[in-house]
Amino acid sequence: MTEKGVYMTEINDKVQNERKKVVLSGIQPTGTITLGNYVGAVSNWGKMQDDYDSLFFIADLHALTVRREPAELRQMCMSFFAQLLACGIDPEKSVLYFQSHVPAHSELAWILNCNTYVGEASRMTQFKDKSAKHADNINMGLMDYPVLMAADILLFRSDLVPVGIDQKQHLELARDIAIRFNNRYGDTFVVPEGYIPKTGAKVCSLQDPTAKMSKSDPDPNGWVSVIEDESSIMKKFKRAVTDSGNEIVAREDKPGITNLLVIYSVMTGKTVEEAEREFAGCGYGTFKTAVGEAVAAKFKPIREEYARYLADKAYIAEVAKAGAEKAARIAARTLAKVKRKVGLVSFDK
């Protein structure tokens, strides 16, 4: 069996001759999973797990780049795990785990740090934005975030990384680091491709349709969560900021309506053009109610499943432990290879 085949086998725990493509992605346990995270990332994870060897993790180490109350972080981590299960990440199909339970993430990040330039990391838009937002805490972790993300991806020889458009720059850096390492030390890493959805790669705030919907937005009317109740979702959509005029069309000068059409399209599986036709001649009020109803209908079963999973801490622990063990087994191979390539001594055969 080829080396590639071994990786595949470890993930699936079954023998196949061809290596299936590997998909990996993570989410920071801050706030709750928003409609933006769901549309841009998590809903695609659910769809991909049937066709790929999939690994998904709670990026708890990434979450430390911003100051958090320890008890709150712990609670968020458990809540996010339950939310991912409720969103359809199936532990029978995917490896699901907490990033901090697999120390290889941090170990590889250190080696990659030594192969990344300060200029590259300090140029990242997210670093600049978060530095401005947290001016009292511009820590090394904030700048190092994309290098840890590169380690997350490269550790598992990931082919595809499903992310929203905001992570595109980080993904490009991960590719640059992989190519540089391969050129210097010989073929080691798979150079990953981004999987950025055609519709919904950047869901915007309901209050500012020119800004990304973000779970750390202090204005709760800007976002909705996958575990939010129906009446609250409906209120937020009724209050959603729209544009001048009364046409329901996706156009550059209509960011509010375009954002709502994209959301409706992803929630219902209809195309944006179909949605435009459906609401031609309707008022903004009717349209906003329909979008809210589509979102509430999609999220209702997620909210119910979430409550069930969160109440079963033993199940979460069982899934998370098994996931971390599998992930650690796969990661150990890449890490051993990397250590050997850079010249660290090993007594293992």
Instruction: Report, as residue numbers or ranges, the catalytic residues.
Output: 130, 212, 215
Per DSSP, the residues of 67-105 read ---HHHHHHHHHHHHHHHHHTT--TTTEEEEEGGG-THH
Q: Which of 8, 19, 20, 30 binds ligand AQP (CB under 6 A)?
A: 30
List the one residue from 36, 194, 222, 323 that touches ligand AQP (CB under 6 A).
36
**What single letter denotes the amino acid at residue 132?**
A
One-character DSSP codes across 317-344: HHHHHHHHHHHHHHHHHHHHHHHHHHT-
Sign, Cα dihedral of 22, 57, 329, 180: positive
Is the torsion defined by CA of 323, 326, 328, 334 positive or negative? negative
Q: For residues 54 and 214, which CB has a smaller minimum distance to ligand AQP in the complex?
A: 214
Can residue 267 be called a binding residue for ligand AQP (CB under 6 A)? no
Closest CA to 38 of 86, 78, 79: 86
Q: Of 26, 44, 343, 27, nearest to 158 (Cα)?
A: 26
Assess 37 for contact with ligand AQP (CB under 6 A). Answer: yes
> Which residues from 127-166 bind ligand AQP, rule CB under 6 A?
163-164, 166
| Binder among 190, 213, 224, 320 for ligand AQP (CB under 6 A) | 213
Stretch that binds ligand AQP, among 1-9, 26-34, 179-187, 290-298 (CB under 6 A): 26-34
Should residue 203 be labelled a site residue for ligand AQP when binding is judged by CB under 6 A?
yes
Nearest to 215 by CA among 95, 42, 47: 42
Question: Binder to ligand AQP among 49, 94, 214, 265 (CB under 6 A)?
Answer: 214
The reply on whether position 212 binds ligand AQP by CB under 6 A is yes
Q: Are 326 and 95 in contact (CB under 8 A)?
A: yes
Minimal distance in Å, beta carbon 27 to ligand AQP? 4
Choose one: 30-38, 175-183, 280-288, 327-335; the region binding ligand AQP (CB under 6 A): 30-38
State the angle between helix axes of 168-185 and 140-155 in degrees (0 to 180), rounded to the nearest 10.
Answer: 70
C-alpha span between 133 and 44 (Å, rounded): 29
| Contact between 323 and ligand AQP per CB under 6 A | no
Residue range at the interface with ligand AQP (CB under 6 A); choices 37-45, 93-101, 186-194, 289-297: 37-45
**Where does this chain bind ligand AQP (CB under 6 A)?**
27-28, 30, 34, 36-37, 39-41, 59, 163-164, 166-167, 201-203, 212-216
